[in-house]
Chains A and B, each alone.
Chain A
């Protein structure tokens, strides 16, 4: 079985482009051009140079000694938290802004939940001198004030999404509407491996630098370029897609995806899409999503805003259904505890999203000679207030 996207934009049963006709020209323009443009030597040169000099790549592949001793296995962290702006998100926004420029776009829009993708988009727009508008749910604007301020400092306009539940999915709806209303001059930078084809594949390719580096870094450290397990948290799934990418068709590598169980899978307040979702359509993609029996999309919950999405990218839906990946879900409390554990055992304060991934160590057994690579996808600065409230620091 092949786990990459097919020529029609599907991963197995999932993906495609279920978009209103009003979006067709925009999406079609991207579909026809993204592979061609990103394969141009000039594009690659500029992309690689920015990743190196601006983002700070390659990010280290760090052997977590104390953690490895405690769990009696070999644990490596791919340090995406050391990227400029504090998370892997910027790998994608750099790629998309270069693409937008080559398509002659003069205006960029984006959606954001916690604000990380919004900040990463505002950053690259500042870098290129391109107008930037970020849609953010009214509730998230209140919850994530520091990131709103960052976006404003970077020169972006933050527009409040007032419709529906006033969170990430509504910000995404508003961004899509903006794109419908501005079909010619605007590029929409989607922040995850979601949305209509070609977005899931395009974003995965830009994030694939994560596993590309992991391969040569592991080769140097361990004498083989593949680990036994790759583990990442999944909301929409972009950091996971980046870590899995070059191992998707390598059956020697076990893939583990960690979702947010929120207050528990059966609590009614969860974001564990693989457990709770059914096949359907969200934001132009056929995938697994959380919905009522009547097909209305429901509001997910997780303490980490970045995992708080009612669907998963179609690649992940396919990895789940085909059993290529193991899916586990971790409740708020365990994720928060891992935020502390990683801080105190390795001196790394992770984003709460990232902390979910590490909880896999408590859920499942690993052998002493096995090599595990975690995507340490983001740093915890943005979550300080949540940590303070939670642990009464």
Chain B
């Protein structure tokens, strides 16, 4: 069974963390992963940096730019993840834009991910329809999940379609916005969370974008299976360093 499915069978709200690989330092990938798992994080999205991440806000873009300056490449990340399953048991998702994967070669990319023990991918600029028609069979061949985003503007019909095509989880974007930390959620967001919960989709949902503290984490996971934190974690890393990761996770969950 895919580790993502296994994780969603646990009877708890999940906390997933995103970070840009190669940031703050090129070789931080493994220490970050180890510290996140030790702190009790349920799942990790490893960001493959891209020069033009147009779905992301300033925090993630800057960390990506810095990671690229540090020398991060697709091949470098794969090298860092070599043997990762000897250390890390939680589900690992690679999150990145489609162009670097195309240049690596889609099949070769998926083959590498699979061999390393990556469980799935999130590719914001690969639309569900294109995935369904052109790439799904390749993902299936290598046993990799592909997760899709939905937003408050996504029509019910399209959500149903995404639910049919999805495995793993559906990534619910909390608001019509690029990534970035927010302090609270308003009624519109809560209504949207409730609306999706009522649809009783076959695929579990996880909320991301704008989650920054215990309050927003709790609000987001109340109507879903959990939440993903990216920008707020990256800011914390930048200010406090890799050793302090446990503190960050504690501040969200306690």
List residues of A whose CB falls within 8 A of some B CB.
16-22, 24-25, 163-164, 169-170, 173, 176-177, 180-184, 278-284, 291, 293-298
Q: Roughly how many angstroms separate A283 CA and B51 CA in the complex, as a whole number?
A: 12
Contact of A22 among B55, B65, B155 (CB under 8 A): B55
Residue pair B54, A173 in contact (C-beta under 8 Å): yes
A-B contacts counted at CB < 8 A amount to 108
Contact-residue size bin, chain B (C-beta under 8 Å from the other chain): 35 or more
Contact (A163, B58) CB under 8 Å given A18-B127, A280-B103: yes
Residue B98 at the chain A interface, CB threshold 8 Å: yes
**B148: chain A residues within 8 A (beta carbon):** 21
Interface string of B127-154 (1 = CB under 8 A from A): 1101000000000000000001111011
Residue pair A24, B158 in contact (C-beta under 8 Å): yes
Residue B176 at the chain A interface, CB threshold 8 Å: yes
Apart from A280-B102, A282-B99, A283-B52, list 17 A-B contacts with CB within 8 A. A18-B125, A19-B127, A20-B55, A21-B128, A21-B151, A22-B149, A22-B153, A22-B176, A22-B177, A163-B65, A164-B52, A169-B52, A180-B176, A184-B153, A281-B97, A294-B75, A295-B102
Contact of A164 among B61, B74, B149 (CB under 8 A): B61
Residue pair B52, A282 in contact (C-beta under 8 Å): yes
Residue pair A18, B130 in contact (C-beta under 8 Å): yes
Residue pair B153, A281 in contact (C-beta under 8 Å): no
Closest-CB distance, A320 to chain B (whole angstroms): 18
Residue pair A21, B61 in contact (C-beta under 8 Å): no
Q: Roughly how many angstroms separate A282 CA and B51 CA in the complex, as a whole number?
A: 11
Closest-CB distance, B125 to chain A (whole angstroms): 5
Residue pair A280, B154 in contact (C-beta under 8 Å): no
**A169: chain B residues within 8 A (beta carbon):** 52
Interface centre among B102, B130, B148 (most CB of A within 10 A): B102
Interface centre among A19, A22, A24, A169 (most CB of B within 10 A): A22
Residue pair A18, B178 in contact (C-beta under 8 Å): no
Contact of A183 among B62, B150, B153 (CB under 8 A): B153
Q: Roughly how many angstroms separate A164 CA and B63 CA in the complex, as a whole number?
A: 11
Residue B15 at the chain A interface, CB threshold 8 Å: no
Closest-CB distance, B201 to chain A (whole angstroms): 15
**A282: chain B residues within 8 A (beta carbon):** 52, 99
Contact of A283 among B50, B54, B74, B100 (CB under 8 A): B54
Residue pair A164, B51 in contact (C-beta under 8 Å): yes
Residue pair B100, A21 in contact (C-beta under 8 Å): no
Q: Roughly how many angstroms separate A169 CA and B50 CA in the complex, as a whole number?
A: 13
Interface string of B199-219 (1 = CB under 8 A from A): 000000000000000000000
Q: Roughly how many angstroms separate A16 CA and B158 CA in the complex, as a whole number?
A: 18
Closest-CB distance, A173 to chain B (whole angstroms): 5
Contact of A180 among B58, B97, B154, B178 (CB under 8 A): B178
Closest-CB distance, A192 to chain B (whole angstroms): 16
List residues of B whose CB falls within 8 A of some A CB.
50-52, 54-55, 57-58, 61-62, 65, 68, 73-75, 97-104, 124-128, 130, 148-151, 153-155, 158, 173, 176-178
Smallest CB-CB separation from B162: which chain A residue?
A: A21
**A25: chain B residues within 8 A (beta carbon):** 151, 153-155
Closest-CB distance, A214 to chain B (whole angstroms): 36
Q: Roughly how many angstroms separate A297 CA and B50 CA in the complex, as a whole number?
A: 8
Residue pair A173, B52 in contact (C-beta under 8 Å): yes
Residue pair A20, B155 in contact (C-beta under 8 Å): no
| 10 shortest interchain CB distances as A-B pairs | A295-B100, A295-B103, A20-B55, A21-B149, A296-B51, A25-B153, A20-B124, A281-B99, A294-B73, A295-B99
Contact (A295, B127) CB under 8 Å given A21-B151, A176-B54, A280-B102: no
Q: Roughly how many angstroms separate A173 CA and B125 CA in the complex, as a whole number?
A: 13
Residue pair A16, B130 in contact (C-beta under 8 Å): yes
**A280: chain B residues within 8 A (beta carbon):** 99, 102-103
Contact (A20, B99) CB under 8 Å given A25-B153, A25-B154, A295-B104: no
Sampled A-B contacts (21; CB under 8 Å): A19-B127, A22-B55, A22-B153, A22-B176, A24-B127, A24-B154, A163-B62, A163-B65, A164-B65, A177-B54, A181-B177, A184-B176, A281-B97, A281-B99, A294-B74, A294-B103, A295-B100, A295-B103, A295-B104, A296-B50, A296-B51
Interface centre among B103, B148, B150 (most CB of A within 10 A): B103
Smallest CB-CB separation from B155: which chain A residue?
A: A25
Residue pair B176, A177 in contact (C-beta under 8 Å): no
Closest-CB distance, A206 to chain B (whole angstroms): 24
Closest-CB distance, A331 to chain B (whole angstroms): 26
Closest-CB distance, A300 to chain B (whole angstroms): 13
Smallest CB-CB separation from A177: which chain B residue?
A: B178
Q: Roughly how many angstroms separate A298 CA and B68 CA in the complex, as a whole number?
A: 12
**A281: chain B residues within 8 A (beta carbon):** 97-99, 102, 125
Smallest CB-CB separation from A169: which chain B residue?
A: B52
